[in-house]
Amino acid sequence: MTDAALRLTDSHCHLDFPDFDGEHAALIDRARAAGVGRMVTICTRLRQEPAVRALAKAHDGVFYAVGTHPMSVADEPMATVDQLVALADHPKFVAIGETGLDYHYTADSAQAQQDSLRIHIQAARLTRLPLIIHARDADDDMARILAEEHRAGAYSCVMHCFSSTPALAQAALDLGFYLSMSGIAAFPRSQDLRDIFAAAPLDRILVETDSPYLAPPPHRGRRNEPAYVAHTAAVGAQLFGLSLPEFAARTEANFDRLFWKAAR
């Protein structure tokens, strides 16, 4: 899927994962050929930040974010606000996270996840950078903490790879946050999720791959990569009754507004 007029950003991918070892240049070339000129690669453990930073520095159009993934909180030293704020000085560091809550496999660390989430929110406030949220099977606690913290001091946020309930979507939108479409929204059985996105304001929608995971059709079941965000964007365009270039332009404007350090 290519279009000379198409401009997209993969707002969430994991280019440092072993799935892509030795392929970064070719991977980025394929993304650009598909109209994907920018990528935000996500560091999920603070100790891996130097390698992720080096990857972003080495490639034009690649930016990065750093946080402790909720599923890793029990196995990693607790991040501090000062650590995150200091890392954010780098010009290609554009967001805090991913952080959040995941009770699907790691409910035993729920309290530590909540503590970590609040630390990341404080860093997002201090840096004015957007927060990247991962939420799975923790909707009530997630909505409560996001609202409590927002009352304590405003911050910006994207619900990455959103695939939760309409209630959590509305709670996030009510706080002024963004919802990001991943390949899940393109799966045939995801009509309920597509309905959630279709009901959201167009100026709060982003697109992502979460690669190497969650490849959209026609690549489902294989390794995902940033070029494939164009397939998810095509589904978004259909939901909002727009052409693909028009939908892409709207999501680009949304990305620039939220990820202001990576704005074109």
Domain count, the chain: 1
Pair of tokens at residue 71: 């599923």
Q: Is 120 annotated as a binding residue?
A: no
Is the residue at 43 inside a domain? yes
Spatial distance between the Cα atoms of 207 and 236, rounded to a whole number of angstroms = 9
**Residue at 70 is within a domain:** yes
Q: Region 113-128: what's the mean pLDDT?
A: 98
- The answer to the question of whether 150 is labelled as a binding residue is no
Q: Would the annotation count 98 as a binding residue?
A: yes
Say which CATH number the domain at 227 has: 3.20.20.140
pLDDT above 70: percentage of residues in the chain: 98
Could you read off the pLDDT of 238-250 as tens digits, one per residue?
Answer: 999 999 999 999 9
Residue 42 domain-assigned (yes or no): yes
In a domain, 3, yes or no: no
Q: Confirm whether 151 is domain-assigned.
A: yes
Query: 3-7, 157-161, 246-250: which range is least confident on average?
Result: 3-7
36 located within any domain? yes
Inside any domain, residue 1 = no
134 is in an annotated binding site: yes
Judge whether 14 is annotated as a binding position.
Answer: yes
Tell me which residue range forms the domain holding 223.
8-262
Give Cα separations from 194 to 88, 131, 181, 228 (angstroms): 34, 23, 9, 18
The reported pLDDT for the residue numbered 17 is 96
Mean pLDDT of the chain: 97
> 131-158: per-residue pLDDT in tens?
999 999 999 999 999 999 999 999 999 9
Predicted confidence (pLDDT) at residue 3 exceeds the cutoff of 70: no
Mean pLDDT computed over 226-236:
98
Q: With CA atoms as reference, report the closest residue to 32 among 64, 2, 67.
A: 2
- Give the confidence band of 4 by pLDDT, cuts at 50, 70, 90: low
Is 12 marked within a binding site?
A: yes
Q: Is the pLDDT of residue 185 over 80?
A: yes
Q: For 21-74, how does the pLDDT look when each residue is reduced to its tens digit (9 = 90+)? A: 999 999 999 999 999 999 999 999 999 999 999 999 999 999 999 999 999 999
Q: Is residue 2 one of the residues assigned to a domain? A: no
